[in-house]
Amino acid sequence: MAKEKTKKTIKAKKVKAEIVKHTALTLEEAVTKVHELAVAKKRKFVESVDISVNLGVDSKQSDQSVRGSVLLPNGSGKKVKVVVITADEAKKKDALAAGAIEAGFEEVVAKIEGGFVDFDSCIATPDIMSKISKIAKILGPRGLMPSPKNGTVTTDVAKAVSDALKGKVSFKNDKAGIVHCLVGKVDFKSEALIENIKAVVKTIKDSKPEGLKGKFIKKFYLSATMGPSVEVALEAI
């Protein structure tokens, strides 16, 4: 029994020793490390690159919620599927012409109620919001519920669809006060990723709740989908 415990202890220490903490003093260094640490690129799978920002907010306080959207300068590298909910026939046509995969009112709502959630962005016109509360429990947990704060509740559905397809991304802090956001793909050039990262960080900073005391951004990480995270010095952002 003692020998088994000793073996388990040695194994646990070995696993712990193999956990390497990756850090970077600049965004350039962080992006280089993410490129080097990406593992899926050898498997014909292009990993996404994401940022995780640990904020000094109390997520239980509604006035400290941090959310928004930003059009990435160099796109997201992701093939986006957009759905538009509107009762206006003209806007429905505009949405489909702009590239939406579905557009309409009752038929789209019914389809979502039936389990259709194979899309990345849901846009709705303001007049329809009070009529789609029944699908909020389906869209909300997936981060797909239209919201004025991220530009997905609008009368200009054509522009909203176009922006989503070009690489507009949305973010919202989770219960732990952390914001996760896509900034591109590992096959992006370093300059493109850095430009995208800076655009998202600026938008997050601009979303700082009024009256928040203390440090707003506490920690900042960059990572590829299947790679380890790299902690970036706050001075770099």
Q: Which of 139, 166, 193 is the last residue of a domain?
A: 166
Pairing of strands 67-71, 102-104: unpaired
- Domain total of the chain: 2
The helix (run of H) or strand (run of E) holding residue 212 is none
Beta bridge partners of 186: none
Q: How far is CA 145 from CA 32, 74, 101, 125, 170, in A?
A: 35, 25, 17, 12, 11
Same domain, 87 and 143: yes
Provide the residue count of the chain: 237
Q: Which of 166, 195, 212 is the last residue of a domain?
A: 166
What is the rounded distance in angstroms from the CA atom of residue 46 to the CA atom of residue 85? 31
pLDDT tens track, the chain, 237 positions: 555 555 555 555 544 445 568 999 999 999 999 999 887 656 677 899 999 999 999 888 888 889 888 999 999 998 999 999 999 999 999 999 999 999 999 999 999 999 999 999 999 999 999 999 889 999 988 889 998 888 899 999 999 999 999 999 989 899 999 999 999 999 999 999 999 999 999 999 999 998 888 899 999 999 998 889 999 999 998
The structure's pTM equals 0.81
Domain edge (last residue) among 141, 166, 191: 166
Domain span holding position 120:
82-166
